[in-house]
Structure formats: C-alpha cells, structure tokens
Structure 1
C-alpha cells in the first residue's frame, strides 16, 4: 500500500473507531456518568497504539521523523473531521471553545504516543546496530 495512503487511512481509522465506540456508550454521557469520559481516551489510545505499531513495522529507518509525521497528520485528520462534525453549522453544534475543552485536547494523545513509540524503536534499532558491529 502507498505510504501516504496508509497514513491517511490509519488517521481516518483512528477517528472512526472511537467515534463508533461513542455511539454505543453515549447513554453513559447523557446520564451524567463520568465513565464515558474515561472510555473515549482509552479507545483512542488503544487504536493509536495498534496502528502506530503496524505503521512503524513497515518502515526501516528514520523512526523518530516518521513517528512525528504520522502523529501530526493523524492529529490533524482527527481535528478536521471533528470540526466538520461538531462546529455550530454542523449536525452536532458545539462552539470551538467547547469542542477543544471537551474533545479536541484529547487528540494530543496521538502525537504523544507516536513520538514516544518512534523514539523507542529508534533507540532499539541503534542498540541493535551497535551490538552487530
């Protein structure tokens, strides 16, 4: 699969899967149960870790650079799709401030995860290279 297509597809899946999860657990939010606010970042974290692992396995070098790239792109994909869905002219109607406070800030998990994973993979590759020399 084309590298850029894979990045965009994975970014969309990182948005889509938690969005689908939110439909199933939305009654928790409407009833005032704080469990909704715990499950959503967990769903986002799980799918981000899985897809970051999958993506990073497919590259051979520049792990930190690639992980920064995918983290930023996936973050932007999620924010852009959400803004289409949640801003005042959209079906779910939220102000930008309400959106960022309730949902948008959570997406910072994405680049934090990808950058951390990229750094770890890069270090592992460097250690392996030193041991083989």
Structure 2
C-alpha cells in the first residue's frame, strides 16, 4: 500500500475510533462529565499507540522521522474532520476557541506519542546496530 494512502487511512481511523467511543459513552457527558473527559484522552492514547505499532511494523528505519510525519498528519486529519463537524452551520456547533479548549488540545497526544515511540524505536535500532 502506498505510504501516503496508509497515513491517510490510519489518520481517519485515528479520528474514527475515539469518535465512535465518544458516541457510545455520550450519556456520560451529561451525567458524569468529568468521567467522560477522563476517558477520552485514554481512548485517544490507546488508539494512537495501537495504530503507531501497526504502522511501524512495516518500518525498518527512520522511525523518528516517520513518527513525526504520522503524528502531525494524524493530528491535522483529526482536527480537520472535527472542524467540519463542530463549526457552523453543523448540528454540533461549537465555536473555534471552545472547540480547541475542549477537544482540539487533547489531540496533541497524537504527535507526542508518535514522536516518543519513533524516538525510542530509533534509539533501540541504533543500539542493536552498535552491538552487531
């Protein structure tokens, strides 16, 4: 599969999985909002870790640069899809600053995790090469 298509498809999954979870647990937003707000970053983190591991299975080098690429790409994809849904005249209308404070900022988890995983994988690869 083409690298850029894979990044796009994984990016859509990166947005879709947390969206589906939030849809399923939305009643908590009304009845136990702090719990809802605690669950969603965990879901985003678990999703980005799983997708990054899957993406990196095909890699044998350049993990850090790929981690930066996928992290920024998935972040932008998630924000772009959300903005289409949350900004006017959408049914889930939310102002841009409210969106960024409530949802958008949480998406920074994505590049933080992919960068960290890429850095760690590159470091481990260099260590293995040095040992050989």
TM-score w.r.t. the length of structure 1 is 0.96
Partner Cα distance (2:63, 2:128) in 1: 14
Please state whether the residue corresponding to 2:36 is helix, strand or coil. helix
For 1:45 and 1:79, the matched residues in 2 are separated by 16
3-state SS of 2:33 partner: coil
RMSD between aligned residues: 0.8
Give the aligned length: 132
Rounded to whole Å, the distance in 2 between the matches of 1:75 and 1:17 is: 14
Alignment partner of 1:2 is 2:2: yes
Q: What is aligned with 1:129?
A: 129
The residue aligned with 1:72 is: 72
TM alignment of 1:23-102, pairs within 5 A: 23-102=23-102
Distance 2:33 2:100 in 1: 20
Structure 2 unaligned blocks of 5 or more = none
The alignment's TM-score, normalised by the length of structure 2, stands at 0.97
- Aligned to 1:34, the other structure's residue is in SS state helix
User: Within 2, Cα distance between the matches of 1:37 and 1:103?
Assistant: 9
Partner of residue 109, structure 1: 109
Instruction: Structure 1 unaligned segments of length 5 or more: list them.
Output: none
- Which runs of at least 4 in structure 1 moved beyond 3 Å after TM superposition? none
